[in-house]
Amino acid sequence: MVLTQMELPAEGLVRQLISTYLTNINVIFPLFNPQQLTQTVDRWYNNPMQRSRTSWAVINVVMAIAQYCSLGQFGFRHADSSVGSVPDCLNKAQSALTEILMGDVELANLQVVLGLVIIFQGTSDIRPAVFLISTALRLCQVLGIHRSDSDFYSNANPREALQWRRVFWIAYILDRDIAMRIRQAPIQQDTDINIELPPKKPDKDAAGFVSTPGMYRNNFNVFRAHVELSRIQGYVYDANFSVRSQQLSPGERAANCQAIRLLLKDWKSRIPATLRAEALSRTQNYLPCIPRFLCMLYGTVVTCLGQLCQVNSMDFHWIDKLRHYGRSITTSIGEPCLPPPQPQGWNALVNECREFMPLFISIEDKGPAFIW
Amino acid sequence: MNICPYASGLVCLSANSVINFDNRESLEEQDQRLKVEAVSLLGEMARQTNHKTLARVLEAFMELDSQYRFMTAT
């Protein structure tokens, strides 16, 4: 494709969307280094001779995420036709995909693929996200950014290494989310990772950190919490859906599920009180992206607990037995059948739902809600 | 945001009412309000999307709720 075909909207509109993305999304899900992303946009408009397919794809994918994740907010309720709609930006980014995948593996290429996964993951058709996350993780593995002993890290400066680690953890999170949704094993194995988790204390640009009232000196890294929750999501698959779990006795499986419930409880206990569901649903102290983001995490906790009990909006087996029991009572025909046994962990699930549901309803702008 | 955990919440609270219908202490007052809010939101989404899972969630809720009312009325 010749350069003239790589069109972008007017600079002011692009910069507005990039700023929206950096302020509201990248700040807690740091796919890009803000400085580098801004430089990419600067170069695009200031040095047309330095334009590349990759930088064009990066800008388009960021514009797509910014609009997609902020529908109804920040003045982009309906995608501005002069900016380019989400599908338009997506199509442009995708049109560069083959070239990106066949070229040298570099950070920006991986970021484009992951950006596409973020968008496709939020749609009713998960298949593009499934294929793209596989590609992204294979790229991560080829580069060795999951291993602290890889050549890449020994040659990278600290800033680059920090961003590569973040990009890897984002791939990891997306892999776990997608695996949970399709009930397949995650691609990336925990035993094959030895890079550091995102830090507990703020690093150079504090990406992922949220300052909460009463925690001025010890901000909380929600990005790290996200990675930790993703790890637990993988355990839920191992305990409930893996081939190995099917070979265990009911007692062993129940013990494994109980151990995961304790991990979830421990994970929740590390969240500062001001960022817990109950507190968030009663406050407006944060940028809208913070409660929305945490609501997504708490939704994942509900899903994990539901899958451990095998009771969620996709698992009707137990609910059907319960309905059958109810019918036998309400119709008063014949002997009432026995109620189905209350699943282990039921009360934890019910209490989690009680905390989660008011938070979900309190978030005015839910974005493009999707359905499994 | 994913609607599914929220839909699961409605199913769980409805099921919990039936399981514990004779143990009112374990049913919290807020449950009824949460269910009403959820039915309103999910009903609206089901109308907009015609999604089978949401329709099934609402169907399960309706049946469990009527069973709960029957159980607690007698």
How many angstroms away from the CA of A238 is the closest CA of chain B?
A: 20
Residues of A in contact with B56 (CB under 8 A): 316
State residue A219's pLDDT score: 85
pLDDT digits (tens, 9 = 90+) for A209-226: 988 766 655 689 999 999
Distance CA A100, CA A198 (A): 27
Residue B42 belongs to a domain? yes
Number of domains in chain B: 1
Distance CA B60, CA A313 (A): 10
Residue B53 belongs to a domain? yes
- For residue A198, which of A176, A177, A167 has the smallest C-alpha distance? A167
B25: confidence class by pLDDT, cuts 50, 70, 90: low
Q: What is each CA distance from A136 to A63, A64, A111, A170, A175, in whole angstroms?
A: 20, 18, 9, 10, 9
State residue A78's pLDDT score: 44
CB atoms B60 and A316 under 8 Å: yes
Residue A135 has pLDDT above 90, yes or no: yes
**For residue A294, what is the nearest residue in chain B, using CA coordinates?**
B1
How many angstroms away from the CA of B17 is the closest CA of chain A?
A: 10
A34: confidence class by pLDDT, cuts 50, 70, 90: very high
Q: Could you tell me if A129 and A121 are in contact, meaning their C-beta atoms sit under 8 angstroms apart? A: yes
Segment A244-272 mean pLDDT: 96
Residues of A in contact with B65 (CB under 8 A): none
**For residue A347, what is the nearest residue in chain B, using CA coordinates?**
B16
State residue A212's pLDDT score: 72
State residue A213's pLDDT score: 67
How would you write B14-43 as a 3-class SS string? Answer: HHHHHHCCCCHHHCCHHHHHHHHHHHHHHH
Measured in residues, chain B has a length of 74
Q: What domain range is B13 assigned to?
A: 4-19+29-73
ipTM over 0.85: yes
Residue ranges covered by each domain of chain A: 197-372
A71 contact B CB<8A: no
Q: Write down the pTM of the prediction.
A: 0.91
How many angstroms away from the CA of A18 is the closest CA of chain B?
A: 21
Distance CA A202, CA A210 (A): 10
